[in-house]
Amino acid sequence: MGERGKVTYKDNDGRSRPMSNDVRIPFNRPFLTGNELRYISDAHQHGHLSGDGEFTARCSRWLERNTGARRALLTHSCTGALEMAALLADLEPGSEVIMPSFTFVSTANAFCLRGAVPVFVDIRADTLNIDETLVEAAITNRTRAICVVHYAGVACEMHAIDAIAKRHGLLLIEDAAQAIESTFHGKALGTFGDLGTLSFHETKNVIAGEGGALLLNNDALVERAEIIREKGTNRSKFFRGQVDKYTWCDIGSSYLPSEVTAAFLWAQLENAGEITARRITLWNRYHEAFAGLEEGGLLRRPTVPAHCRQNAHMYYILLPNLERRTAFIEYLRGQGIMAVFHYVPLHSSPAGQRLGRAGGSLARTEDVADRLVRLPMWIGLEPMQDAVIQAVREFVSQ
Ligand SMILES: Cc1ncc(COP(=O)(O)O)c(C=O)c1O
């Protein structure tokens, strides 16, 4: 609330502005399948509310079956899963990890916590994913890992990136926070690298409030991952009856979610197919509606290569420049429609400048960061989607 009780919002420059309408169409609204509270109550009745109970087991087995990962370990967030990946990567201060700059802070933070240096590589103009043709040039004798990010649930070029990682003996990590149910040549994202990470944050397709998972595709890392997740102890082995008592074995932390979270997540995972299908319908509607505007050169729509199945995590458009994007967001806000831009490139943020370095030009990252805007995208938007489409048409045709 601003002065005299008026509802305000911060514009892109951080100035407080009055909201001309109440928010009619929010940017996101979490979808509930209807079983969440029942399963939480079941967890309570089972008398097991801490981590690694029956619901955690169900979610883990679902993830393994549906992605093909060797092991799936639930975590309290994708950030936590990335931190586990960084611990498993055995980094030393000064080790380098190649990643895009056009990503969420956790991709870099997880490695910086271990004293490693993120080396930022530019993105492709089409999918906005790390440009695989630029990765090799960024490798030095300090490089230990490559961490790709599947932006908007659309796959990076994993065959090329996997070949580079193998050629140079680097650990390959996939930040698949946005990519549940997405595939590359029919194989689930998060299962190409040694490690993959998923997010179940409430802004994602399948949610648990806060939640995540670490997908392990390299058998050699499984035992240590279990230990790191359980405070550096072999408690997982103890619960399976494989050791008489559990003890401190390695460094680690507490990365497992409670059964309350897992019970909520189970209600979502068992409906993941339907969730994806409903989001795809919304995504296709935007995409078809904006085809003519793209042909007319008024905006650019997302690109999804034929060999990628995407999960409709987000629908974004690219406008000609920052001024138009700022005006667009304000125009929609004036109609009570919330559209938002995305990442401030990590290399240009204060921590990124201090802790990371550029691995070549980042011109495309900077250009896209100025022009991209995400439209409302949530199950339940259906009766309001035409109003969003109409507002986009009106603005870009002005
Ligand atoms: C690419 C990417 N990585 C990591 C994260 C962090 O996920 P979480 O909120 O589950 O920690 C996000 C969340 O927005 C993300 O988009």
Q: Residues near 138 by Cβ (< 8 Å), separated by ≥ 6?
A: 98, 119, 121, 359, 360
Closest CA to 367 of 315, 325, 305: 325
Q: Give the helix/strand (H/E) hosting 1.
A: none
Neighbours of 361 (CB within 10 A): 11
If you measure from the C-alpha of residue 333 to the centroid of ligand 1, how many angstroms do you get, rounded to a whole number?
Answer: 25
pLDDT of residue 15: 56
Between CA 209 and CA 228 the distance in angstroms is: 23
Ligand 1 geometric centre to CA of 203 (Å): 9
Closest CA to 62 of 196, 215, 172: 215
What integer pLDDT is reported at residue 316 of this predicted model? 98
pLDDT per residue of the chain (398 residues) written in tens, 0 to 9: 334 444 454 444 555 555 555 899 999 999 999 999 999 999 999 999 999 999 999 999 999 999 999 999 999 999 999 999 999 999 999 999 999 999 999 999 999 999 999 999 999 999 999 999 999 999 999 999 999 999 999 999 999 999 999 999 999 999 999 999 999 999 999 999 999 999 999 999 999 999 999 999 999 999 999 999 999 999 999 999 999 999 999 999 999 999 999 999 999 999 999 999 999 999 999 999 999 999 999 999 999 999 999 999 999 999 999 999 999 999 999 999 999 999 999 999 999 999 999 999 999 999 999 999 999 999 999 999 999 999 999 999 98
Residue with CA closest to ligand 1 atom 8: 78
Residue 343 parent element (H or E): none
Ligand 1 centre from 197 Cα, in Å? 9
- Ligand 1 cavity residues, CB under 6 Å: 77-79, 103-104, 106-107, 149, 175, 177-178, 199, 201, 212
Quote the pLDDT of residue 315.
Answer: 98
**Whole-angstrom distance, CA of residue 117 vs CA of residue 115:** 7
- 186-241 residue pLDDT tens: 999 999 999 999 999 999 999 999 999 999 999 999 999 999 999 999 999 999 99
Please name the residues in contact with 191: beta carbons below 8 A apart, sequence gap of 6 or more.
67, 68, 69, 215, 217
- State in Å: Cα 281 to ligand 1 middle: 24
- Cβ(181)–Cβ(155) below 8 Å: no
How confident is the model at residue 2, as a pLDDT? Answer: 38
Which one of 109, 199, 314 would you pick to mutate in the ligand 1 pocket, going by the greatest count of ligand atoms within 8 A of its CB? 199
Nearest CA to 121 out of 99, 104, 136, 143 is that of 99
Residue 210, classified by CB atoms within 10 Å of its CB into exposed (0-12), middle (13-18) or buried (19+), is middle
One-letter amino acid identity for 50? S
Cα-to-centroid distance, 97 and ligand 1 (Å): 18
Which of ligand 1's atoms lies nearest the C-alpha of 199?
A: 10
**Cα distances (angstroms) measured from residue 86 to each of 172, 193, 207:** 11, 13, 24
Quote the pTM value. 0.94
Kindly give the pairing relationship between strand 212-216 and strand 195-199.
Answer: antiparallel
For the CA of 151, the nearest atom of ligand 1: 1
- Residue 227, CA distances (Å) to 50, 84, 246 in order: 17, 10, 10
Q: Give the containing element (helix H, strand E) for 68.
A: none
